[in-house]
């Protein structure tokens, strides 16, 4: 030392903590996930604009949905159920591939009224009476009791998925840790994520 005082400065590396995209869901926790993305798709006429999903909630581009960290939600082995409308089917399949989820099979929700009649909606090429749930896997999930490939469920508010779907999953895949991704209703046994989570709590049917 030549008489000058050496000044030490402690430099701490700056830690940036990025919140988990799917908070409050817990990373690497789930063995079954139902994912109902806010698909953005073209409507086929101006008069159909009232029915457009964008009138009801925020939408996401397919590339942003494909970039979601779905694998970070799952345990090593998990079952992933993805809702897909008919026009978005190729997009849903490409998102599953991007997430690292292997497509295995699918189920059809046949939309019915409270009286059990088939409910026919609008459509350009085909009038909508159903929606699909794509079944995919991560790793090697434990075998469940196979789902029926078609189930009936009462159609309610725009894009609201039927209670019958959740009852079916609870029955066929008990003892799974479940996440409802892009949820709008709190359900026993399911952890929920979504910017409208809880919106339909206590609402039985308001369509």
Asked if 128 touches ligand SAM (CB under 6 A), the answer is no
Asked if 194 touches ligand SAM (CB under 6 A), the answer is yes
Span from 85-93, 101-109, 130-138, 154-162 in contact with ligand SAM (CB under 6 A): 154-162
Interacting residue with ligand SAM among 183, 190, 191, 192 (CB under 6 A): 183
Q: How far is the CB of 21 from ligand SAM (least distance, A)?
A: 8
Please count the residues of this chain forming the interface with ligand SAM, following the rule CB under 6 A: 14
Nearer to ligand SAM, 152 or 196 (CB): 196
CA distance 76 to 5: 56
Q: Which of residues 14-73 bind ligand SAM (CB under 6 A)?
A: 36, 38, 57-58, 60
- Name the residue with the smallest CB distance to ligand SAM: 57
Nearer to ligand SAM, 112 or 139 (CB): 112
Q: How far is the CB of 34 from ligand SAM (least distance, A)?
A: 8
Interacting residues toward ligand SAM by CB under 6 A:
36, 38, 57-58, 60, 159-161, 182-184, 194-196
């Amino acid at each position: 030392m030549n008489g000058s005082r050496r000044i030490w400065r402690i430099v701490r590396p700056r830690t940036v903590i990025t919140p988990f995209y799917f908070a409050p869901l817990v990373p690497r926790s789930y063995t079954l996930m139902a994912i109902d993305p806010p698909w953005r798709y073209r409507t086929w006429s101006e008069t159909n604009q009232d029915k457009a999903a964008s009138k009801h909630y925020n939408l996401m581009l397919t590339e942003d949905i494909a970039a979601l960290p779905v694998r970070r939600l799952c345990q090593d082995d998990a079952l992933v159920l993805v809702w897909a409308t008919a026009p978005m089917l190729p997009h849903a399949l490409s998102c599953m591939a991007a997430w690292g989820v292997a497509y295995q099979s699918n189920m059809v929700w046949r939309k019915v009224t409270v009286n059990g009649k088939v409910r026919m909606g609008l459509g350009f090429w085909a009038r909508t009476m159903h929606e699909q749930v794509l079944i995919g896997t991560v790793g090697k999930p434990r075998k469940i009791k196979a789902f029926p490939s078609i189930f009936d469920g009462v159609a309610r508010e725009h894009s609201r998925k039927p209670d019958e779907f959740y009852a079916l999953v609870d029955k066929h895949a008990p003892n799974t840790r479940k996440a409802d991704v892009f949820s709008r209703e709190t359900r026993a046994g399911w952890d929920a994520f979504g910017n409208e989570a809880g919106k339909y709590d206590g609402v039985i049917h308001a369509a």
